[in-house]
Amino acid sequence: MPFPIEEKFVVAVASSALFDLEASDKVFKEKGEEEYRQYQHAHEEEVLRPGVAFPLIKRLLRINGEAPDDQPVEVVLLSRNDPDTGLRVFKSIQHYGLPITRAAFVAGRNPFTYMDAFNASLFLSADPDDVRSAIRVGLPAAQVFPTGFVDDDREQELRIAFDFDGIIADDSAEGIFQAQGMQGFHDSERMNAGEALPPGPLFRFFSEVSRLQRREWEKRRRTPTTRRAFGLLS
């Protein structure tokens, strides 16, 4: 039986994070929407270069097996393009062999508004304004930054590291430290020692990754030759 999306680990990624759209974005900003449309149509067959989130997305999707019941990961594309101008993006997805089949082309609107519909636990974007807007309405989002790191495609393991304060748990303890100093922080910690910290903005994402990792451990226990998919640090 195929995995229903309600039971999958789902990450939503903006097209600007998955691919390098710098040239086309420059056309849009400097020459307007009509010139942008013409540019996209003229370059429709040109494959886009990988963007800052490409290595992460590629490794996440490699966790899936070939059987329909062994595909716990879903990546959903969210794009400010409309379907017409977004055709180049999907042709690039096909060129790289990424198994991404779900997408929302929102024609200039906020793409993250579709996260709940796709059961996504995280929205990744290269646009800081989109990330801030998503966070303001209570959605888990993160900006993917450019890096000079050269991805080695031979290294297939995905490693994820988390900060704790303000990410997995909320930053209320840090707020007490800033307002009351070290003594106030220690007093608060002693008084609330028996209570768990409230969840942070990426708590669900962290929980989903942890659940996925346990699933991979179980696969390796049943089939020792199964490759290790990823590591989790916090």
Q: Is 119 left (phi over 0), alpha (psi -120 to 50) or beta?
A: left
Distance CA 205, CA 226 (A): 24
Q: What is the dihedral of CA 162, 165, 168, 172, to 10 degrees?
A: -170
- What's the rounded Cα separation, in Å, for the pair 32 and 49? 23
Spatial separation of the C-alpha atoms in residues 53 and 29, rounded to whole Å:
23
User: Is 163 known to be catalytic?
Assistant: yes
Burial of 9 (0-12, 13-18, 19+ CB in 10 A): buried
What is the amino acid identity at position 112? F
Instruction: Name the residue among 130, 119, 137 with its Cα closest to residue 201.
Output: 137
Task: Provide the 10 A C-beta neighbour count for residue 212.
Answer: 19
DSSP run (H or E) holding 9: strand 9-14
Which of these is catalytic: 151, 163, 165, 170? 163
- Max distance between CA atoms of the chain, in angstroms, equals 65
C-alpha span between 73 and 172 (Å, rounded): 32
Taken as a whole, the chain contains a residue count of: 234
Distance CA 75, CA 58 (A): 10
Residues with catalytic function: 163
